[in-house]
Structure 1
Amino acid sequence: MDMVAEVRAFNRFYTEVIGVLQAGLLDTPYSLTEARVLFELGTRDAAEASALRDLLDLDPGYLSRILTRFEADGLIFRERSPEDGRRQVVRLTDAGAQAYGILDDRSAAEVRTMLAALTDEDRRRLVTSMATIRGLLDADDRREPYVIRPPRPGDLGWVVHRHGVVYSQEYGWGTGFEALVARILADYADGHDPRREAGWIAEVDGAPAGCVFCVRKDDETAQLRLLLVEPSARGMGMGRRLVEECLAFARHAGYRRIMLWTRENLTSARRIYQSAGFVLAERHDGEESGEAVVDEIWTRDL
């Protein structure tokens, strides 16, 4: 495969898809570069001209001509920086904000139209692939290598399946544990109050790789349940992030404390809970698949 030719072919294809080569982007009088300048100004109160130049990697003379045109059209006004009189600060006028709003609305509508032609699965594949491209080519892209989202149809079955497989492989727990997970999720699915209970799925490259749930224990106490991170996704900080989501939700839902049940031999999970502020409250002897285990209750105030 000629990789250079493949990349160039993709570039040609995508510029055609988004209409970069049209005289006016999104049926407006603005070129792609002019639209980018408007977008950057529209997403902040003000920007120094030098910052715009560096952000968009523009020739100073070219940017100056764009700003001069915008000023003549009443889209921007320029003033000296109060910190340094040698710098120019650029702001949108009301007309400029209206022009930015038109561009933003049309861009969003165009993307929605493009996505509407795809299935849910293809939309996820597309967005994941775009994130992969950005992550590989942008050294400054610091986004986490996963996304966290609410459960979708089919996810609860995945949670049961992966708990059964992972805990069987790593700890030798049998179908009784898998049945317990299924009962927990059946209770959650049957009638949970979305104001007080929620779940999250962590996704890597479009596929589930982790989960956690926050359920009601009583009016003042939430319970963190079913934290799982796939072995292939460990080391990304996913478990910690899932616990943070659960804690933030529990606070917002009005709980005063949160608790969880775990086992002494689940050392990685226990470290996550401890670093999140949970403290060990109770220990009890238990049994799983014919083997002795130590059950633990951990709690923390919210």
Structure 2
Amino acid sequence: MSEQFMPIHHIRSTSRRLVRELGFMGGDFAGTDLPPSAVHALIEVETCPGVTARDLAKLLRLEKSSVSRMLRKLVLSGDILEETDPEDNRIKRLHLAERGRERVRAIHAFANRQVSDALSRLAPADGHTILDGLRLYADALGDRVDATMPAIPIIEGYRPGIIARITQMHALYYARTSGFGQRFESVVAEGLATFCNRLENPKNAIWVAMRGQEIIGSVAIDGEDLGSDIAHLRWFIVDDGVRGSGVGRRLLATALAFADENAFAETHLWTFNGLTAARHLYETHGFACVEQRPGSQWGSEVLEQRFVRPLNA
């Protein structure tokens, strides 16, 4: 798309207004007396307990010296604890102290009220539009800097807790964004448990993204349920804390590489209308929507969509 057709000026203007409305330009931020960088640091330490100062600097896109000064203040204020790594005493791991946990709870409460108040002035469907738009924009901006993110390994195969954790990520995300409930959670858990019993078939595989000992993303290729020449991409999800970090793209690329290596003629996936950011990701990896139909298999009626990607697309 040529620049003349892209709303660059309006996006920049709206971005500046958003920054002002959120309080980044001064005064109290997130209901605290902390600068925005310190608020974000506390949230990232909560999300990634044990993170190092170096990795925190990469997450926040800040110079290491700036992060060091900020962390020194947060340690002295009793918000953050530094603990020596048990395997390398040169490395300090960061954790929230009790004061820091209380402060982060207050930050979340303030931010949740702020978002809730704004959404209350809009139509219910507008919330999903905002979410998808922000994710698309953040993903596009993040493409410049994904290489600076701390390494999150993609690991293949079953591991203890995988069924429960992947089910939990699906249940929580789709309850919040689409109103799905117990029926959806049960369908995910049952299907995933049955699939894991078939992992001995070399045409089937599952991968998870790991942050420490926590599963924060997943994807699977089921090479049996749609026929011998079709790969079924299933259970693709990432945790809210790493959306926009590139983890989803890596999981998807890993699964599609497996499908191509095993010479599946096509890879299929089922989703539903309204998940704009996910659709954009699928289409950039060679998928096209070939079928739409109303369905209620997930507990409420949605417009189900089937996407297909040919071999080596």
TM-score, structure 1 normalization: 0.52
- Answer yes or no: is the 8 Å Cα contact 1:145–1:236 preserved in 2: no
Determine whether 1:149 maps to 2:158: no
**DSSP-derived class of the 1:235 partner:** coil
How far residue 197 of structure 1 moved from its aligned partner, in angstroms, is: 0.7
- Structure 2 residue aligned with 1:249, among 240, 254, 258? 258
- Deviation string 1:21-67 (CA, Å, 9 cap, x unpaired) is xxxxxxxxxxxxxxxxxxxxxxxxxxxxxxxxxxxxxxxxxxxxxxx
The CA distance in 2 between the partners of 1:196 and 1:131, in whole Å, is 43
Counterpart selection for 2:204 from 191, 197, 202: 197
1:210 and 2:217 aligned: yes
Matched residue, 2:192: 185
Q: Cα offset for 1:169?
A: 1.7
Partners of 2:299 and 2:165 in 1: how far apart?
Answer: 26
Gaps of 5+ in 2: 1-85, 95-146
Cα distance, 1:131–1:246 mapped onto 2, change above 3 Å:
farther
CA distance in 1, matches of 2:237, 2:92: 24
For 1:132-143, list aligned pairs within 5 A: 142=148
2:231 is the counterpart of 1:228: no
Report which stretch shifted further, 183-192 or 234-243. 183-192
Measured against aligned partners, the alpha-carbon deviations of 1:234-293 in whole angstroms (never above 9, x if no partner) come to 010111111101101111123111000001122221111111110001000122666431
State, as a whole percentage, how many aligned pairs show the same letter.
Answer: 29
Q: Give a deviation string over 1:67-126, Cα, whole Å, max 9, x none.
A: xxxxxxxxxxxxxxxxxxxxxxxxxxxxxxxxxxxxxxxxxxxxxxxxxxxxxxxxxx96
In structure 1, the partner of 2:293 is: 284
Are 2:183 and 2:299, in contact at CA under 8 Å, matched by a contact in 1?
A: no
Is the CA contact (8 Å cut-off) linking 2:198 and 2:204 kept in structure 1?
no
> SS at the partner of 2:221?
strand
Give the Cα–Cα distance (whole angstroms) in 2 for the partners of residues 132 and 171 of structure 1. 37
Find the aligned partners of 1:261 and 1:276 in 2 and give their Cα distance.
15
Whether contact under 8 Å (2:205, 2:222) holds in the other structure is yes
**5+ residue gaps, structure 1:** 1-124, 134-140
1:215 CA displacement: 0.3
Normalized against structure 2, the TM-score is what?
A: 0.50
State which of 132, 144, 168 in structure 1 corresponds to 2:175.
168
Match of 1:298 among 273, 297, 307: 307
RMSD: 3.0
Any idea what SS the aligned residue of 2:180 has? coil
SS in 2 for 1:218: coil
Is the partner of 1:146 in helix, strand or coil? coil
**Deviation (angstroms), 1:143:** 6.2
Structure of higher RCO (CA pairs closer than 8 Å, 6+ residues apart): 2
SS of the residue 2:296 aligns to: strand
Question: Highest Rg: 1 or 2?
Answer: 1
Shift of 1:193: 3.8
Q: CA deviation at 1:131?
A: 12
In the alignment of these two chains, the number of paired residues is 172
CA contact (8 A) 1:173 1:288 kept: no
Alignment of 1:1-302 (within 5 A): 142=148, 144-150=150-156, 151-216=158-223, 217-287=226-296, 291-302=300-311
TM-aligned CA deviation for residue 218 of structure 1: 1.1
